[in-house]
Homo-oligomer: A and B are copies of this chain.
Amino acid sequence: MTARIFNFSAGPAVLPVEVLEEARENLLSLGSTGIGIMEHSHRGKAYDAVHMECEALCRELAGIPENYKILFIQGGASLQFGMIPMNLLSAGKTADFLMTGAWSEKAASEAKLYGNVHHAASSKDQNYSYIPQTASYSDSPAYVHFTSNNTIFGTEWKGEPAGYPGNMLICDASSDIYSRPIDVSKYALIYAGAQKNLGPSGVTLVIVRDDVVEMGPKNIPAMLQYRTYAADHSLYNTPPTFGIYIMGLVFKWIKKNGGLAGMAQHNEAKAGKLYDWLDQSKLFKATAARDSRSLMNVTFVTGDAKLDDEFIALSKKAGLDGLKGHRSVGGMRASIYNAFPPAGIDKLLEVMADFEKAHTK
């Protein structure tokens, strides 16, 4: 078998080796069923157990209150950008957005199809390199939307935005979901594409309060109504069974590794080590404002685009993949989600140290 390398991809991203090994064992036969996990009917007992265990672990890990439903939807966060306003916004009403990057922009842009959009705060003035500390909300917005972690710009909210009006807080948590404890009771709806912290692409986790499920219109396609999923444990039609299976294995792995508190500790240690090194470096520099730094995506530059490219090429040779930053920021981005191993941080520091030595006097 080929040795695994360190995968800093922003998503789809590295998964725990144990999860991959267990999936491998069940591809031709799920346990002793004689039928592979992908081949089981979604109406059969074997898959039902997988599905319900995934949902139960999801609830247990974050302590999701009983008045919230856990939904498995397809289409990624991108479909949620449209589905949320389709259900929760209408002509004449206003949704407030806290603008912290490209994903906030896409979400806000889709909301405009259904109602008014108010930018309650934005860090666009400094290329989204920080999380705004204050916001100016509209009067009784239909909802307040924020992006908890910004993969491209390497910034992350440390908690919920302060002082938002009402009880309709909505969060795109695609890139930091279950990387730390979360108080679900503060939210109306949380959504996350699975492909960063939870599993493969093709499943979107939506955690939604019961009253919000029923707010949407009924004269839209069934697959675009939250109630369709809420009514039947997301089994109205054939769900993405394999993705849900993997997500369940990831939840087990999280539980075994200390739950969400364990993940937070582990992520703080990994990112902390990397930021500490960057802060003392004479060559490399973190791009995000210090109080807004993401524990999931660490963005950094040398300040010289050619030198950045040289470093990326060198790191690739050293077995570090996916370090090229997004074109909006340039430089490097180390995506170090839950499953990214600490040894990969050590290796990165080693390669950076060597590079720095060779390029500074």
Binding site for B on A (CB under 8 A): 1-5, 7, 9-15, 17, 20-21, 23-24, 27-29, 31-36, 38-42, 44, 74-79, 81-83, 86, 110, 113, 193, 195, 199-203, 219-224, 236-243, 246, 319, 321-322
Contact = CB atoms under 8 A, between A and B. Distances in A.
A12 B40 contact: yes
A195 B238 contact: yes
Given A76-B223, A82-B223, 15 more contacts: A7-B34, A9-B41, A14-B35, A20-B28, A24-B27, A27-B27, A38-B201, A74-B75, A75-B75, A79-B221, A201-B238, A201-B241, A202-B241, A240-B240, A240-B243
Contacts of A32: 2
Contact of A23 (B17, B27, B83, B321): B27
Nearest to A243: B202
A337 to B, nearest CB: 11
Chain copies in the assembly? Answer: 2
Contact of A41 (B11, B33, B77, B239): B11
Nearest to A74: B74
Nearest to A8: B41
A245 to B, nearest CB: 10
26 contacts: A1-B29, A2-B34, A4-B29, A5-B34, A10-B41, A11-B238, A12-B238, A15-B36, A17-B28, A24-B28, A34-B319, A38-B200, A74-B75, A76-B237, A78-B236, A82-B222, A82-B223, A83-B221, A113-B220, A200-B240, A201-B239, A201-B242, A202-B203, A202-B242, A224-B224, A240-B240
Contacts of A20: 27-28, 36, 38
A359 B118 CA distance: 73
Nearest to A109: B222
B81 A221 contact: yes
Given A40-B12, A74-B74, A201-B242, A4 B221 contact: no
A29 B11 contact: no
A278 B238 CA distance: 30
Contacts of A39: 7, 9, 12-15
Contacts of A193: 238
A23 to B, nearest CB: 6
Contacts of A78: 222-223, 236-237
Given A35-B4, A82-B223, A243-B240, A12 B24 contact: no
Contacts of A222: 78, 81-82, 110
A190 to B, nearest CB: 19
A243 B220 CA distance: 27
Nearest to A78: B237
A91 B28 CA distance: 49
A57 to B, nearest CB: 19
Contacts of A21: 28
Contacts of A199: 38
Nearest to A82: B221
